[in-house]
Amino acid sequence: MNLIIQGSDIQNNDLRAIAKLAQASRIDRITDEAFRMIDAQPQAEIPAYCEKANLDYAFVPAGKKLTDFGLISMDMDSTLLAIESIDEIADMHNVKPQVAEITQRTMRGDISFAESLTQRTALLKDLPQEALQKVYDERFRLSPGAEKMLKHVQSIGIKTMVISGGYTFFADRVKDRLGLDYAFANTFEVQDGKLTGQVLGKIIGSTGKGEILKKIREELGLSKEQVIAIGDGANDLKMLEEAGVGIAFHAKPILKEQATYSFNHIGLDGILNLFE
């Protein structure tokens, strides 16, 4: 087993202390912000030490390669993107505090995603459709490391997909902009150039995300072990369950508890350092 340590400011004394705890045979440098400890053993003290030192850790099977995977599936808001697009739309309609509060309750798992999206979309009634483009033009922001990660995995033939509980207006543009292979999201109803406050069709929530990932995975002829899924909230639980590796990215506790690995301090490009 290898232990991957990642962080923006890794101190040598911390590396030595963690290696001693893990009884690692040696430490290999991957980058200035990532190190691989060989023949490491999981120990109860390691998570607490890393948390105190602001470091991310991951025990990864030796010999596991990034090329072993064929698909990476990502949540969009607060995962692939560093914004919650619906909150930014709400800001244009002067209802951001109300929408943001519902968003946080949803990510914690306090209310169902379908009910949450219905409530938040209703608050956007009568917003001019042009406001959506304004949000995209002015507030679009990728999460740290997203572009680097995507360029690398795409260069080695891994398929990329976003499955969002947000809206197709943004997911489709993200797909085109980043060259993703698939994008799935919910659709606003628009009449006379304004949002009606309704969502068209079946809402993609936690269960839907899992179903979509499983469907695409099977279409590609991939096993569960060949899939990486990345999310940040409760509505990503089912998606992570359909993947061999689930990554909680700056996530809520409910998702961290179920994920294979948690990234609390590093960007999405940290995925590239996990595997040999």
Catalytic residues: 75, 77
Instruction: Compute φ and ψ for 82, nearest 5 degrees.
Output: -90, 15
- To the nearest 10°, report the CA torsion of 230, 234, 236, 240: 70
Torsion of CA 185, 256, 220, 113, to 10 degrees: -30
- Give CA–CA dist 145/59, Å, rounded: 21
Identity (one letter) of the amino acid at 93?
A: H
Handedness of CA 216, 102, 237, 176 (dihedral sign): positive
Residue 94, Cβ density class (10 Å: 0-12 exposed, 13-18 middle, ≥19 buried): exposed
For the chain, the helix, strand and coil percentages under 3-state DSSP, each to the nearest 5:
45, 25, 30
Do the Cβ atoms of 175 and 183 come closer than 8 Å?
Answer: yes
Q: Three-state SS for 271?
A: helix
Q: Cα separation of 224 and 231, whole Å?
A: 17
Instruction: Please name the amino acid found at residue 189.
Output: E
